[in-house]
Amino acid sequence: MRESERRRMDLNEWGTGRMTSQVSAEALLEFRNSIGDANVITDSAALAAITKDTGNLSRRVTALLKPQSEDDVRSITQIASEYRLSIAPFSTGRNWGYGTSNPSAEGCALVDLSGMARILEFDADLGLVTVEPGVTQRQLAAFLEQTGFDFLVPVTGAGPDCSLIGNALERGYGITPIADHFGACTRIRAVLADGSVYDSSLSALGGDLVDKVFKWGVGPYIDGLFTQSNLGIVTQMTIALARRPESVLGFFFGVPREQGLESAVSAIQRILQQTHGTVGSINLMNRRRVLSMVEPYPTELGAGDLIPDERLAAMAKRNQVMIWTGAGALYGNRHMVAAAKRVVKKELRGTASRLVFFSPRSTHLLKGLSQHLPGQLGASARNIFETLDKTLQLLAGAPSEIALPLCYWKSGTRPPEGQPMDPARDGCGLYWYSPLVPMVPEKVREYTNLVEEVCRANRIEPLITLTSLSDKCWDSTVPILFEPQDAADSERAKQCYRQLFETGQRSGFVPYRSHVETMDWFVKGDSAFWQTAAKIKDALDPDGIISPGRYSLR
């Protein structure tokens, strides 16, 4: 077969043609000799556990390889290249709602990078931390606390045990001052398919420190190619952290009428335009989404039932939840925060109801006081202030599981007390629909109507969050919750996911990231963009060793 023909092979032929779908005894022996017998796992039960997903997905994988260093990763890629094996790396495997640790294609050997969990360097003057892929939010928080360095962890709603690098490489975001997590990345090291190591240009010229302080380097900007791609295995990343400000002040407001959505969008846009750097991301959540954080799902409802409107209204009244709820935080010294607070008040006047401001300290105090209130009022207050306290801690850069109970809302089954939440392990059903939405009031209305209509048609609770990425764009997250043990409910969830994508695409709302099963919804062979990406893949990984089909034609 000519080289040009070989490179045009359809993805369906991967693992059946030039790639090997089984790991030979010889390859396994080489892996064991290279990275240690304990770090090469082929037991079927262990492989089934590592690929357990929130969407009934379980790819066939051939082995689990657990490198402990960059040299181990280099050895793995070299052996895989020699034996023509597909390998698929993951950082900590907590990519819930997007495929967890499953690869995009069948027949890969998984490369579990969680054992590479060293904080390699920290510059307290510049606020730069260099980490390996296994370093989690929790680990960085513990390091900062133990060392006394006053910086914020780039937290997300995915929980304390998720990888910092994994989130940044998927272009994830948070709600602290540096919300764009790949935007905070200043330097990358990666292992390529042939075992060679990629590093940024300034380091090669002797500018190791300036390489970490200046994101763009010299020459073509290549670091970005390793995000949402299959071009290499990132082994180190330098991340700029935000300093802990003198003051953190959370704010919450309600929009009491559905007709107020457009004016709320405009007000939020004006706030962001006037307070750049002081106001972090602002969340706007519909009533069902907020209730999923504070009330159990009604147990009497069946898998295909929606919460009746009258029941929803009663739940909202009990918890004082309005049609839309906004939440954000102000960061800076007390003068900056006071000035930004005035802007928030001014712009939300006439739109928001019950605009309140809380510091993490005051919320913690109110949470404690609520423990002494009797009866239903006390129970309601405790629920509200417990949620507020956890939310404010997250806004202040403390890793938290505050958002993870959402995954359990329909299943109702929580892990034992003291055990970290793991939605895949615990049998939750979840897909994430996460489209980008212009910060234009009419487009936001069109989008929210679309989600309501499609979700209701498929008997899926329409839970909507809009998170500001800038004063021009939202990312919306819609959790599609279902009972994975119920075949009909699982099918409804898949159908809902597909319809949201297709209906949203026709209106210009496209997700910023893909589930491992839906890469073909995004990657099109007739696209100049994906053709260009394929040429880069062919140049760096001509045998298609690394993660075939992940954001790629190859």
pLDDT at residue 302, as a whole number = 82
- Report whether pLDDT(160) > 90: yes
pLDDT given for residue 503 in this prediction = 98
Q: pLDDT averaged over the chain?
A: 91
Give the start-end residues of each E strand in 19-118: 40-41, 61-65, 87-90, 108-112
| Weakest-pLDDT range from 250-264, 370-384, 394-408 | 370-384
User: What distance in Å separates the CA atoms of residue 199 and residue 187, rounded to the nearest whole number?
Assistant: 8
For residues 124 and 105, give the distance between their C-alpha atoms in angstroms, rounded to a whole number: 42
| CA–CA gap between residue 519 and residue 511 (Å, rounded) | 11
For residue 439, name the pLDDT band (cuts at 50, 70, 90): very high
**Residue 387's pLDDT band (boundaries 50, 70, 90)?**
confident
pLDDT of residue 19: 59
Residue-wise pLDDT tens digits, 480-524: 999 999 999 999 999 999 999 999 999 999 999 999 999 999 999
The token pair that represents 163 in the structure block:
């990888």
Q: What is the mean pLDDT of residues 416-426?
A: 90
% of residues, the chain, pLDDT over 90? 79
pLDDT over 60 at 67, yes or no? yes
* Closest C-alpha among 174, 115, 125 to residue 149: 125
Hey, what domains does the chain have and what are their CATH numbers?
3-113+528-540 (3.30.43.10), 119-240 (3.30.465.10), 247-358+403-506 (3.40.462.10), 359-390 (no CATH)
Band (pLDDT 50/70/90 cuts) for residue 396 is confident
Length of the chain: 554
pLDDT of residue 418 exceeding 90: no
**Mean pLDDT (whole number) for 207-225:** 95
pLDDT score for 415? 85
Q: Among 6-10, 162-166, 229-233, 439-443, which is the least confidently predicted range?
A: 6-10
Question: What is the reported pLDDT for 15?
Answer: 34
Residue 363: closest CA among 376, 344, 381: 381
pLDDT for res 367: 66
Name the band, by pLDDT with cuts 50, 70 and 90, for residue 65.
very high
- Residue 546 β-bridge partners: 87
Question: CA-CA distance, 430 to 515, in Å (whole number)?
Answer: 11
Band of pLDDT at residue 22, cut at 50, 70 and 90: confident
Q: Is the pLDDT reported for residue 21 higher than 90? A: no
Amino acid identity of 315? M
d(CA 47, CA 165): 23
Q: How confident is residue 414, by pLDDT bands cut at 50, 70 and 90?
A: confident
What is the structure's pLDDT at 9? 38
Q: Is the pLDDT of residue 372 over 80?
A: no
What integer is the mean pLDDT of 359-365? 74
Position 315 pLDDT exceeds 50? yes
Long-range contacts of 344-351 (CB under 8 A, 24+ apart): 344/251, 344/271, 344/275, 344/279, 347/267, 347/268, 347/270, 347/271, 347/274, 348/253, 348/264, 348/267, 348/271, 350/263, 351/255, 351/260, 351/263, 351/264, 351/267
pLDDT at 382 over 80: no
pLDDT band at 2 (very low <50, low <70, confident <90, very high): very low
Among the residue ranges 5-9, 75-79, 327-331, 526-530, the one predicted with the least confidence is: 5-9
d(CA 319, CA 362): 20
pLDDT of residue 3: 37
Are 327 and 391 within 8 A, CB to CB?
yes
Q: Which two tokens stand for residue 68?
A: 């402990």
Are 548 and 14 in contact, with CB atoms under 8 Å apart?
A: yes
Q: Which residues contact 270 (CB under 8 A, 6 or more apart)?
A: 347
Q: What is the pLDDT of residue 375?
A: 62
Mean pLDDT of 14-35: 76
Among 5-9, 196-200, 541-545, name the one with the lowest average pLDDT: 5-9
Residue 154's region, left for phi above 0, alpha for psi from -120 to 50, else beta, is: beta
DSSP bridge pairs for 432? 479
Give the least confident one: 35-49, 247-261, 401-415, 441-455. 401-415
Residue 262 confidence (pLDDT) above 60: yes
The better pLDDT of the pair 391, 470 is held by 470
pLDDT higher at 239 or 9: 239
- pTM value is 0.92
pLDDT at 170 exceeding the cut of 60? yes
